Structure 1
Amino acid sequence: MITFNYLAAFLTDVTGVPAVWVPAVLTLFGVGAFAGLSAGGRIADRWPWRALLAGAAGILVCSVLLALLSRHAVAVVPLVLLLGIAGFVLNPAIYGRVFTIAGEAPTLAGATTVSAFQLGISLVPALAGAALNAGAGVASVAWIGAALAAATVPAVLLDRRISSAR
């Protein structure tokens, strides 16, 4: 979500997309999010760790490519769609994993997961704001997104290892 929070500024200030086209590109993100949720739920039902890893890796790759290709609208616009897909493949996989772990307390698990999402949504703009206040450009937000996605991969692998050992 860190890249999405600054996507309008990224598109207009870095990529050079005219402001009139920003809603259309944001719509592409939404279409990608819908596709990611739809596919992610199906994938997570059969292969939860694959869905988690695919989502994190997808966000990582899309974020790196957005940062590297930030000045090329012809690359950035489809990457926004792919970022929506990758980002939202994770959601059903995360919820499925949480409910599997906390099968005895599903209401608490659901509430805690929603709270964790909200905390993350609140913290990522602070990370981006710190980078921007330090003088980094708007394109740096994509690098932060890549770093956060990269940090997710070892957590997923550790969870898989712990769960397999049980």
Structure 2
Amino acid sequence: MPFPLYLLAMAVFAMGTSEFMLAGLLPAIAADLDVTVGTAALLTTAFAIGMTVGAPLMAGLARNRPGRSSLFGFVLAFLAAHAVGAVTSSFAVLFATRAIAALANAGFLAVALTTAATLVSPDMKGRALAVLLSGTTLATIVGVPAGTLLGTLLGWRATFWAVAALCLPAAIGILTRLPAHRGHQDAADRPGLRSELARLKSPRLLLVLLLGALVNAATFASFTFLAPVVTGTAGMGELWVPVVLVLFGAGSFVGVTVAGRLSDRRPGLVVAVGGPLLLSGWGALAVLAHEPAALLCLVFVQGALSFALGSTLITRVLYEAAAAPTMAGSYATAALNAGAAVGPFVAATTLTTAAGDTGPLWVSGLLVLSVLLVAWPLRRVIAAGRSSEVLS
């Protein structure tokens, strides 16, 4: 894999740390800013909505600019938003900084996904995506647990400062080592913006966008509220929260790495095997969450299955949107974050029901069930990889 891919993954690591870190910081933020945990969870929703809306918007604005300068600018804006968030005492201001950071993250990821796909041969998009998303999975393994631990010891504001600091080496690496050219066709050769947007009329593209969004909704529905499950349902101490996040992240790294080897040629296999297992796993976790040993094992498994299935579907987005070379990444980013916005919002409504802390786990299961119900009649479309494999 080309070295610039790893520079992009470094920036994704910093941004992924920020995106996921609230899962372990929500109780502290809620207490400090005098809001409920459910209200504090709106910070996750704000970030996801900002990325959903910002992905096509930022990609459209940046499509005629050099990729390196666009990526560098997005990283600097992300850094500034976290610096402001670290010093504010207002929930409204913190909410606004999360939205601004999301726009910067959306722009970066949309351009980075497109750039990553053009740095490799056309039949290796899945592997390139796996390298890029490894930044996110490593964030869940290292960045998020470290941020949670830092927040536990020094306060949640210290974690925001740490994310801002992480952006610096990423920005320097992008500016000094990423090729100055954008990587895809010259402006004279590539399709116009109207033509690229028209690709969204494709039923095949809309299908994989919907399924990718639903899988990510299921992932975030539970991931956002893992901390209450650990400290409440399982009765474990606060220091176990980063341990659980590490396990989820380790599983996600395994899942996205394995899927990267399969998603180009055998996407149907990943969906056929991973989908039912993921559905069963959320139900098992909801039932066994009070058992610490079962919780620790199942969190790892669910992380692997969630990212294997999700990354495979997003790889299908890049294939189906190949005729939109500057906007394909934004479509994938929007799908991921539409799910990330909806999942926690729906899951939060279950916290005050009889299901309590395990409500989000049941929501994840229902979302995966909806994926399987939609995917099964249309399995030939989803499984149409390079080898024209079909699900059977």
Same fold (TM over 0.5): yes
> Using a 3 Å threshold, how does the CA distance of structure 1 residues 164 and 5 change in structure 2: closer, same or farther?
closer
8 Å contact kept, 2:317–2:332: yes
Q: What is the number of residues matched between the two proteins?
A: 165
> Using a 3 Å threshold, how does the CA distance of structure 1 residues 27 and 162 change in structure 2: closer, same or farther?
closer
Q: Deviations over 1:124-155 (max 9, x none)?
A: 11101222244531111111100001111123
Match of 1:97 in 2: 316
1:20 to 239, 247, 272: 239
How many Å separate the matches in 1 of 2:275 and 2:343?
16
Structure 1 residue ranges (4+ consecutive) displaced by more than 3 angstroms after TM superposition: 133-136, 161-165
1:32 to 235, 251, 255: 251
Task: Give the TM-score normalised by structure 1.
Answer: 0.90
Q: Deviations over 1:87-117 (max 9, x none)?
A: 1102331122112222211332221110111
> Using a 3 Å threshold, how does the CA distance of structure 1 residues 110 and 8 change in structure 2: closer, same or farther?
same
Deviation of 1:17 (Å): 1.6
8 Å contact kept, 2:230–2:240: no
> Using a 3 Å threshold, how does the CA distance of structure 1 residues 155 and 107 change in structure 2: closer, same or farther?
farther
Choose 1 or 2 for highest CA Rg: 2
Unaligned 5+ segments in structure 2 are: 1-219, 385-392
Unaligned 5+ segments in structure 1 are: none
Q: Deviations over 1:40-63 (max 9, x none)?
A: 111212211221333332321111
How many Å separate the matches in 1 of 2:302 and 2:272?
14
8 Å contact kept, 1:63–1:145: yes
> Using a 3 Å threshold, how does the CA distance of structure 1 residues 107 and 12 change in structure 2: closer, same or farther?
same
**One-letter code aligned to 1:122:** A
Q: Deviations over 1:18-76 (max 9, x none)?
A: 21111111101111111011001112122112213333323211110111111111111
How many Å separate the matches in 2 of 1:37 and 1:9?
26
How many Å separate the matches in 2 of 1:53 and 1:106?
29
> Using a 3 Å threshold, how does the CA distance of structure 1 residues 133 and 51 change in structure 2: closer, same or farther?
same
**Please, what is the CA RMSD of the aligned residues?**
1.9
> Using a 3 Å threshold, how does the CA distance of structure 1 residues 49 and 164 change in structure 2: closer, same or farther?
closer
Larger CA deviation: 36-45 vs 125-134: 125-134
8 Å contact kept, 2:266–2:383: no
1:128 to 347, 350, 353: 347
Larger CA deviation: 12-21 vs 90-99: 90-99
8 Å contact kept, 1:69–1:76: yes
8 Å contact kept, 2:316–2:382: no
Residue identity over aligned pairs, in percent, reads 32
